[in-house]
Structure 1
Amino acid sequence: MESWRNAHALWKGARDKILSEAKSGKADKRTAAQADLEALGPEPEAPPSADRTVTEPTFEGLTKLFAHGQPSLGLFSDEGGQFLGGHAMNSENRQKTLAAFNDLWQGNPIRRTRSGDGHATLYGRRLAVHLMVQPGVARGFMADPLAADTGFLPRFLICEPPSAIGTRMQANARRDEMALGSFAARLRDILETPLPMEPETRELEPRPLHLTPEARALLVAFSDAIEAAQAPRADLAHVTGTASKAAEQAARIAGVLTLWRDLQAPAVEARDMADAIDVAQYYLSEASRLASAALVSEKIDNAEKLRKWLLEAWPHDDVTLREVVNRGPNALRESPKARAALDILTEHDWLKTNEAHTFVRGAKRKESWRMVQGARDVV
């Protein structure tokens, strides 16, 4: 960096001198100055940034770092809420940020067009993301339909391990210095290995990593099993977005395991694919569990919204499904959601189902519900 600063200072001094002489001279001076500027050459390019990780970037900032820094970056943070709650993910920027990150996950080039910077296309860039967040922050983000509908969440390997609070006894602490040292040494060797890239454009040019026939057979079997489990009413029907990417996740994990063991490995072997499938299956199980928990939480939340609406805004003791859908809380404007909320309140003795064809507001109703006596006394 110091040598670049010196070279840049000399270049700038020479350029300023040429321009200064051209301003005070005649036409022949300006012609000579033009020749001198061409001979001076372009501005010395700054060395690429050595930064390899970021914590809460905007996508514009990430693009600039990709353009002038390393072609492989990591968005790593043990305070991931700073990124999820930061400028890049606010209501105005969230959709474009999610879409841009999806493109990076797929290996697509970065295309940016701005009035000040012009148009630029960056090929061969890669981004790894690892965020640790508090459960409340994570659930709030996971409940955002945009994060799921854009395919952003299904591209992540998400887990919520049980809390260790109450069991973190110092007497039980074990530190395997040999294992940690071996891990650190291997990681250092990998990081010090030159990246496979084109020097001029800094475009990554990774070599293909093929699958052995045995590894491919394992991956195909796993993919078919996961596909069958996504059928209607099957085990993974509620997480089809995540399940649809499980086989690709397994292939990516297998590639990481292979290269961790041997950077020069010619192909992914069956043992690494089997381990990768186990890892991908774990994260898929976690996604299924968390999605089911979120679904239950949503139903309970909707039931509570209906209960408060009946107590605070509905003037009658009886109510029909159509009235809830048409006039109830916004979250219950779909019949299945409204019926589920009515069923939960009935199950917990807040409502009682009327007999069929009971008169409600002057008309026979095929089905209707009545608030249990005393329910209005409890808020």
Structure 2
Amino acid sequence: MNAQAAMEETPFTPEGPQPLVREIPPGARYPVNALGPLKEAVEAVQGMTQAPVAIPAQSALAVASLAVQGFADVEMLGGKRPVSLYALTIARSGERKSACDAPFIEALRLHEREQSKLHIKQRQEWHRRHAVWKAKHDRILTDAKKSKSSDSAEAEATLRAIGLEPQAPPSPDRTVTEPTFEGLTKLFATGQPSLGLFSDEGGQFLGGHAMNSENRQKTLAAFNDLWQANPIRRTRAGDGHSTLYERRLAVHLMVQPTVARTFMADPLAADTGFLPRFLVCEPASAIGTRLHQTTRSNWAAISSFGNRLRSILESEMSMDAETRELQPRCLPLSDGARETLVRFADKVEQAQSPGGDMAHITGTASKAAEQAARIAGVMTLWRDLEAKQVEPVDMNNAIELARFYLLEAARLADAAQISAAIDQAEKLRRWLLDTFAETQVLVRDVVRRGPNSLRESPKARAALVALEQHGWLIPLEKGSVVRGSARKEAWQIVQAS
């Protein structure tokens, strides 16, 4: 639905001017049956919290992505890609976002806590080994300086004999909440090569230091690179240049609508390709319907999810011993899965043609097939880390999910257009009632003297029509005399009572 059509659904009524309201059409029902091995746990959390099912579904997908992304990449229609997923869940305060997230992430937090205790012991041992190594290293250098011999071969041989400097054990943390790019890069260098950015207060990240005006473009580009598994390149004064290869990042940000609107309205978020990489949804509110008598408990399903997560987290990821560079295998598509993905990709491509349903969100639509392959890879590996290939059943489910997210993106993009049009109309309404001295208005009045953002005829006319539809203006008959001249187009301003 475009902005004009949405505004035409709010006609003038004899009751007088109507408020300018951003009405967002409801989204499609979340295809929970397409979640495959994650379905039972998602339904269990939804039954317990009675939140919109899309919220626990987003959490489950993101946590599963974090768990498996270090083990395999998935075959695409051209090349291969990580199975890392970026998710953005939009829901107002009180929708039980945290309550939905907690059951899925509980086993991860327990794993991190246990590994943290082990890490303390490992660092103590490292400190002892490092102290011994440093003492030997310093003594060799001191003896070499005292020696009158110009031949340093003996000293070099002795240094080689004591080996390389012992490296500190990597940080066991698997998640972060509000990282700067520099902080995230440092953690990738000194910690795990597979990380998750998870926050049930995602506004703290989107509105934080990493996303301020100075850092935003750099941060967006860096996250785009991580989504594509590009190397992380870092050059800083004093630290020199470093490159980290084969790191993986899963993301789930939960944000309130006002925060999301501001971020999604930023052209940089869309133009850089950052926002189109996200699985975005804004489910209808369930507040007011969550009665205790309708809650459902299925702790067995939640426990099963946690046990599977722990099992994967405790599995060893293949990586280079020195650089901690991941060495994921490629998870191929079966013939049937590939054929299904090709049909979906072609259909979405056709919908992006001028005038097509997806022509206004080509950035998101162009990634839909890849999102489907990533989701299929996540579900396949969650079920079996040693799976030989992606089967058609998982690809069909993943495509259904990818289609849902694509329709959500289209809906929210339309809503953004409606919001922008309503905002412009509201600016004009305030100007007409508070500043404009006449009782009748022409398009040229707005173009010449109105708000700066409306000083173009098409924008001015669109805002005037919006106010007409909401009853703030009454169109005058063609040829009506306004300020001494007959006018083809003019409106009478309605003063609110």
- TM-based fold match above 0.5: yes
Q: Which moved more, 1:144-153 or 1:164-173?
A: 164-173
Amino acid at match of 2:190: H
Asked whether 1:97 is paired with 2:97, we answer no
Please name the residue that 2:280 is paired with. 158
Query: What's the CA shift string for 1:216-248, capped at 9, x where partnerless?
Result: 121111122222223333333333222221111
Structure showing greater relative contact order (alpha-carbon pairs closer than 8 Å, 6 or more residues apart): 2
Q: Which residue of 2 aligns with 1:232?
A: 354
Larger radius of gyration: 1
Q: CA deviation at 1:166?
A: 2.5
Secondary structure in 1 matching 2:255: coil
Q: Which residue of 1 aligns with 2:373?
A: 251
Matched, 1:203 2:338: no
- For residue 418 of structure 2, what is the amino acid of its counterpart? V
- Contact 1:19 1:33 (8 Å CA) reproduced: no
The CA deviation string for residues 105-135 of structure 1, in whole angstroms up to 9 with x for no partner, is 1121111111211111111111100111222
Q: 1:170 to 1:346 in 2, by over 3 A?
A: closer
Q: For residues 469 and 475 of structure 2, what CA distance do their matches in structure 1 show?
A: 10
1:292-342 deviations in whole A, cap 9, x for unaligned? 222222221211101112233334444433443454323324543322211
Q: How does 1:214-229 map to 2 (within 5 A)?
A: 214-229=336-351
The CA distance in 2 between the partners of 1:96 and 1:231, in whole Å, is: 31
- Structure 2 partner of 1:241: 363
The 1-side partners of 2:479 and 2:318 are apart by 75
1:178-193 paired onto structure 2 within 5 Å: 178-193=300-315
Q: Secondary structure at the match of 1:198?
A: coil
User: Kindly tell me: are residues 101 and 333 of structure 1, through their superposed partners in 2, closer, same or farther at Cα, counting changes over 3 Å?
Assistant: farther
Please give the alpha-carbon distance, in whole angstroms, between the structure 2 residues aligned to 1:38 and 1:210: 44
Counterparts of 2:457 and 2:318, CA distance in 1: 56
Q: State the one-letter code of the partner of 1:120.
A: S
Q: Report % sequence identity.
A: 66
- Counterpart of 1:51 (choices 173, 182, 185) is 173
Aligned to 1:61: 183
Show CA shifts across 1:41-87 (max 9, x none). 54321122211111110011111111121111110111111111111
Which amino acid in 2 is paired with 1:12?
A: K
Question: Cα gap change, 1:336/1:248 in structure 2, threshold over 3 Å: closer, same or farther?
Answer: farther
Asked if the contact 1:154–1:241 (Cα under 8 Å) also holds between the matched residues in 2, the reply is yes
Structure-2-length-normalised TM-score: 0.69
Q: Distance in 2 between matches of 1:30 and 1:68?
A: 37
1:328 has 2:450 as partner? yes
Change in 2 beyond 3 A, CA 1:32/1:261: closer
Cα offset for 1:257? 1.1
Unaligned runs of 5+ in 2: 1-122
Q: Give yes or no for contact 1:22–1:30 (8 Å, CA) kept in 2.
A: no
Q: 1 CA distance for matches of 2:350 and 2:139?
A: 73
For 1:221, give the aligned amino acid.
Answer: R
2:132 pairs with 1:10: yes
The yes-or-no answer on 1:74 pairing with 2:196 is yes
- Matching residue of 2:466: 344
What is the rounded CA distance, in whole Å, between the counterparts of 1:12 and 1:334 in structure 2? 72
Aligned CA distance change for structure 1 residues 37 and 30 (closer, same or farther; 3 Å): farther
Letter in 1 for 2:250: A
List alignment gaps of at least 5 residues for structure 1: none
In structure 2, distance between residues paired with 1:100 and 1:340 = 39
Please list the CA deviations of residues 233-269 of structure 1 after superposition, one character each: whole Å capped at 9, or x if unmatched.
3333333222221111111111111111221222111
Q: Could you tell me how far 1:361 is from its partner in structure 2?
A: 6.3
Determine the structure 2 residue equivalent to 1:310.
432
- Give the paired residue count: 374
**Given residue 211 of structure 2, which amino acid in structure 1 is its aligned partner?**
M
* Length-normalised TM-score, structure 1: 0.88
